[in-house]
A and B are shown apart, each in its own frame.
Chain A
């Protein structure tokens, strides 16, 4: 079975900072990975699909990269509304989410 390791589990940053979140797969998953943002009490919202394609309507400060086993989500300049929890999701085999990264205001 594929395992996903997401890091860090939490992150403190300031408005304007550049942040990077990483997901590692235990075996190659091509580019079968998406990134999601979730705010308290809300359903997850997809930001990135196919590892690097930006979901329509999502600000361009969000970007994804990677293929195979290592993937990153980058927010180029944090805005107040970006403080949330982020998850990766691999769908190469049975869907599996990463453990989540809680992004908090420093």
Chain B
């Protein structure tokens, strides 16, 4: 059974960076295309970026380009999302999600990581 387990909640000051981890269990990260989605309090779901297997590259939503970096450590089956130059509007729950069954839509999600940006 594939599971995604994320790191714990973070509190950061404006201007800082945050790095959230997502560990895969029950499968191998190299066989998955990992994506990141965030949700501000009381708001909807927002795709941030993820791995495009057709191009073999990580793609980012235009809104986050230049501020977000998604990486993987295949030795530990762990994916990472780092967001820099944090501002209060980045306060949100961050989810990793993947298309395990190759249906094209995210079927497996992490439990979410709350990131609070506050001075």
Contact = CB atoms under 8 A, between A and B. Distances in A.
Interface residues of B, number: 21
Contacts of A94: 47, 59, 61
A61 to B, nearest CB: 20
Nearest to A31: B104
Interface string B20-53: 0000000000000001010000001111001000
A87 B104 contact: no
B95 A43 contact: yes
Contact of A50 (B35, B104, B106, B109): B104
Interface of A: 32-34, 36, 38, 43-46, 49-50, 53, 55, 87, 89, 91, 94-100
Q: Can you list the 10 inter-chain pairs with the closest CB atoms, starting with the nearest?
A: A34-B105, A43-B109, A49-B103, A95-B47, A97-B45, A100-B44, A91-B104, A49-B105, A46-B107, A99-B44
